[in-house]
Amino acid sequence: MDDIRRWLGWPPARHGRRYAVAAATLVWLWVWAGGLPAWVSPALQPLASAASSAGGTRAIHDAQDIMERVSEALNRIQDIQARVQIVQPGQTSSLSTAVVDVKAKLPNLFRVTYIKPDAFTDMFYVIDRDNRRVDAYYPVTDTVVRQRLDKVLAERSLPVADPQQLLQLPSPESYDLKLTGTESLDRVLHYIVEARPKAANGTVYRFWVDGQRWLISRVEGTDERGRQLVQVRLTQVRVNQGLAENDLRRLPPGAQIQVQS
């Protein structure tokens, strides 16, 4: 669990459930921190013909091709919004589920709003790199806690300092990546990229990359025994809808703002 806790950007367990659940809603943002290595596997050549119709005129042969498509898609995106579902095994046999809405104005501003669990409904975070701050709104007390971004990064291990990273794959400096196959999700061809940690006994991730829009739609993390640790699904994805920065930064009228140095 220590490995998955670091992956989620959770604080140490001693801080308790309140901060752990809050940080978990940012899980999906971490997984796009880096790029794909260039590699070629002759065994994957049959994927090219299956992918050509979904991927345009350039066929997909290997992970390098996926990297190029994802990079090109990222360069075209100015803003993005999506609903994100995060599922993890609970302390018993049950599953813990969090649902959030994410809105981002690339490259420096994003807003994460809780939908589920019910105890966190309407709580939100605004990560603002231009103003170097993080605003966290707690509806129960109608309070906004404002902290310096550098302090949050240092003390709470915020997964992403650059929202533009949310559309990328794990860094090849820490993971060995491999294109393992294709799968249809919601009638759209997806490419499955496996990321194995270079360090021993780490979490293995699989990423489903949309073969039309070249965005990540799904992430699964398993331990070395194949037991699922986390699943992330992205739906209702919209790009370049003209999101306004003022709307992303907007705080509830009358909310008390507590500034922490």
Among 35, 60, 36, residue whose Cα is nearest residue 49: 60
- Counting residues of the chain whose pLDDT is more than 70, the rounded percentage is 72
- Number of helices and strands in the chain (H, E): 7, 12
How many Å apart are CA 132 and CA 161, to the nearest integer?
Answer: 10
How many Å apart are CA 23 and CA 160, to the nearest integer?
Answer: 11
The structure tokens listed for 116 are 């589920």
> CB of 144 within 8 A of CB of 250?
no
How many Å apart are CA 209 and CA 192, to the nearest integer?
Answer: 6
What is the total count of domains within the chain? 1
69: three-class secondary structure by DSSP: helix
The reported pLDDT for the residue numbered 159 is 45
Among 78, 112, 106, 113, residue whose Cα is nearest residue 239: 78
124-155: pLDDT as tens digits: 999 999 999 999 999 999 999 999 998 888 87
Q: What is the CB-side half-sphere exposure of residue 88 using CA atoms within 13 A?
A: 20
The reported pLDDT for the residue numbered 34 is 29
> CB of 213 within 8 A of CB of 73?
yes
Domain hosting residue 34, numbered range: 2-260
CATH code at 138?
2.50.20.10
Exposure string of 167-177, with b = 16+ CB inside 10 Å and e = fewer, is bbbbbbeebeb
33-92: pLDDT as tens digits: 322 222 223 333 334 334 444 445 578 878 778 878 888 888 899 999 999 898 987 655
The reported pLDDT for the residue numbered 162 is 56
Q: How many CB atoms lie within 10 A of CB 260?
A: 10
- Please state whether the peptide bond connecting residue 197 to the residue before it is cis, i.e. omega within 30 degrees of 0: no
Computed over every residue of the chain, the mean pLDDT equals: 76
